[in-house]
Amino acid sequence: MVYAVVGAWLVLAAIVVLTWGRLGTDRGLRGFVLALTLGLSLLHQLLFATVTEDALVSFRYAANIAEGNGPVFNPGERVEGYTNFLWLVLIALPRAAFGADVQTTAIVFGVLSALGCVLLSYFLVNRVVVAATPADAEPRPAIGVAAAVLTAAAGGLAVYGPSGSEVPLFVLLVLAVCYSLAARRPVVAGVLVAFAVMTSPDGLVVGVLGGLWLAGAAVKKQHTWWAPAGYILGALVFLIPRLAWRLTFYQHYVPAPLAAKLGGPFGAQVAGGWPYLSGFALVHQGFLLLALVAAVALLLRRAAGAALESRALIWLMFAMAAGLAAAAVLSGGDAGPSWRLLAGVPPLLAVGSVAAYGVLTADVEVKPSPRPRAWPAGTRLVPVTACGLAGIAVLVSVFSPDMLGRVRDWRTYGTELTEIGGWLGTYLPPGSVVSAAAPGALSARGGQLLIIDVLGRTDDHIARDGQHDGGYATDYDYVVNGRRPTVAVPADGGYADRQHCAIDPVYAGQYEVATFRRVGTPYWVSVYPRAEQAKSLVDDLDRDPDFRYVPCPS
């Protein structure tokens, strides 16, 4: 698959560079190139093709919605252990209506959303550039192709496209908000902002910046004051009922994952967020440098008339990218690979930078000619730069230790934990309670095991009243003595390569260690059955022919 992605980039880059002079006038050729760009995006996504832990948690919620249990992780426990309400509804509907598999639905929707981002990048750039182009000048739709190529090569979007998570939908909604503002449809933009907020808390950043941009445009007489008013009303029509329902059903303003993550000392969160941002910046230097050049060019060359609003929209996209980065730092970053919280930043920078080139060159007079002419030097720079940076992004996806390598490790751990969850769900007594740090993976094949998230993301008490440290909340006294799990699963990284007989001190005394060998492999798994039930539980689990109980040495 690595060779297929690199080969697809080489083919696309060669075609874009060689045909750039005709892309603006040949609609069929432009459509063909966009189709190739979508193909690159699809292959880039398939390179990773890994479902995330957060997505598996969402699948459990969506399945419970479809089966009539309501938006709960464990039936009967009303805990808002998600921050992506709109995504839950979207992936639950096909299951409720047609019995479709939730995971398959989520993967398909995610891939389609990522492909939608590629197409919307093309349309958004052209919309911004057309607004700044004099009426007597030739249109230049080829410029949008450069933005589509860069978006297709963005690693974070590719990682999370087939992950089953809400990330690609959120990025699509952010770009759609920008497009609606470019099209002067503030009410539609407000509705899309509401959808973005219901997909990710970072939608609040996008919504606030969009509202401020419209207010500034109204002050400058580029819009009437009805524009920001319509924008706010469009958002509140959906957000107020959503908030009212949340308070009624869950009795809290803030979801448990946010409460667990943000409950610690502010300084500690920021201290964790800076390395997160610096790692992202190191890997995405191409996008950042492109945006820096575009920003400097916008500052050095002033404009007037129709170009002012287009330039303001470009600054808005850069501000949204900076706002998402700031939110990631303030929240302490994220434990997953490939910078999930910053997946929307490269597409925003790509669209803003390419649009800046189009706007800055919009007033250059180009006389139509019946025959293709030799390229000006400046024109050659666009496809070469876009395809070159896209190539660098693809190579980063392949060779960066925080991209493909870490995603593959993540896939291995998730597969192993899912297998362990299926083993526990099949052989533990019905209604057993299991404590774990990876509730999503264990629940994927765990049936109706009741799973306690020891890090508080799906448990209100731990999230709000536990001890906060490192972006998580814990309260093991509550877990051991309050919830009293039947079995505790101490590992969140799948199987071990050797037998581990030491027990975590938080479980010592009331639990015992039971180690099992995965038959036919060199791998081991340790679980902690409750002491008074240990013998019967070990006998139950030992019935699985794929797991063989091996007592610890005396």
Query: Which residue do the tokens 């948690």 mark?
Result: 57
For 247-262, give one letter per residue: b (16+ CB within 10 A) or e: eeebebebbbbbbbbb
CB 200 within 8 A of CB 166: yes
Q: Taking the chain, what is the end-to-end CA distance rounded to the nearest angstrom? A: 48
CA-nearest of 207, 213, 211, 208 to 192 is 207
pLDDT, position 214 = 95
Give the three-state DSSP class for 308. helix
Over 80: is that where the pLDDT of 463 sits? yes
Token reading at 488: 């505790």
Q: What's the pLDDT band for 437 if we cut at 50, 70, 90?
A: confident
Counting DSSP H helices and E strands in the chain, the numbers are: 22, 8
Average pLDDT over every residue of 57-67: 93
Asked whether residue 372 carries a pLDDT value surpassing 60, the answer given is no
153 pLDDT above the threshold of 50: yes
Contact by Cβ (8 Å): 477, 97:
no
Q: What local confidence, expressed as pLDDT, does residue 373 receive?
A: 45
363 band by pLDDT with thresholds 50, 70 and 90: low
Q: What is the pLDDT of residue 306?
A: 64
Question: What confidence tens digit (pLDDT) does each residue in 252-292 have?
Answer: 999 999 988 888 788 888 888 899 999 999 999 999 999 99
- The whole-angstrom separation of Cα 276 and Cα 329 is 7
Asked if 489 contacts 515 with a C-beta cutoff of 8 angstroms, the reply is: no
Task: Copy the structure tokens of residue 124.
Answer: 């958004």
Q: Average pLDDT of 114-137?
A: 90
Extract the tokens encoding 454.
């020891």
Mean pLDDT over 395-422 rounds to 89
| Confidence band, pLDDT 50/70/90 cuts, at residue 352 | very high
Confidence of residue 316 (pLDDT cuts 50, 70, 90): very high
pLDDT confidence of residue 530: 92
What DSSP line would sit under 92-143, residue for residue? HHHHHHH---HHHHHHHHHHHHHHHHHHHHHHHHHHHHHHHS-TTSPP-THH
Q: Residue 177 has which token pair?
A: 């908000």
Average pLDDT of the chain, as a whole number? 90
Q: Hey, which of 34-48, 128-142, 267-281, 450-464 has the most confident mean pLDDT?
A: 34-48
- Under the banding of pLDDT at 50, 70 and 90, the label for residue 379 is low
Instruction: Calculate the CA dihedral of residues 284, 289, 292, 294 and round it to 10 degrees.
Output: -110
Q: Is the pLDDT of residue 448 over 90?
A: no
Strands (E), 341-417: none
Q: Is residue 101 predicted with pLDDT exceeding 80?
A: yes
Structure-model confidence comparison of residues 265 and 105, the more confident one: 105
pLDDT of 16 higher than 80: yes
How far is 283 from 154, CA to CA, in rounded Å?
Answer: 11
Q: What residue has token string 């070469």?
A: 384
- Residue of 469, 470, 468, 465 whose CA lies nearest to 482: 465
CA 141 – CA 125 distance, rounded (Å) = 9
* Residue 38 to residues 41, 114, 352, 463, Cα–Cα distance (Å): 5, 9, 20, 41
129 against 373, higher pLDDT: 129
What is the spatial distance between Cα 490 and Cα 470, in angstroms, rounded to a whole number? 18
3-state secondary structure of 336: coil
Q: What is the pTM of this model?
A: 0.93
Least confident of 21-25, 148-152, 468-472, 514-518: 468-472
Determine whether 339 is exposed, middle or buried from the number of CB atoms within 10 Å of its CB (0-12, 13-18, 19+).
buried
Q: Is 508 left (phi over 0), alpha (psi -120 to 50) or beta?
A: beta
Q: Which two tokens stand for residue 173?
A: 């909604």
Q: How many CB atoms lie within 10 A of CB 351?
A: 31
Residues 16-34 have a mean pLDDT of: 90
Classify strands 514-518 and 472-474 as parallel, antiparallel or unpaired: unpaired
* Least confident interval from 112-116, 329-333, 398-402: 398-402
User: In this predicted model, what pLDDT tens digit does every residue of 182-224 receive, in sequence order?
Assistant: 999 999 999 999 999 999 999 999 999 999 999 999 998 888 9
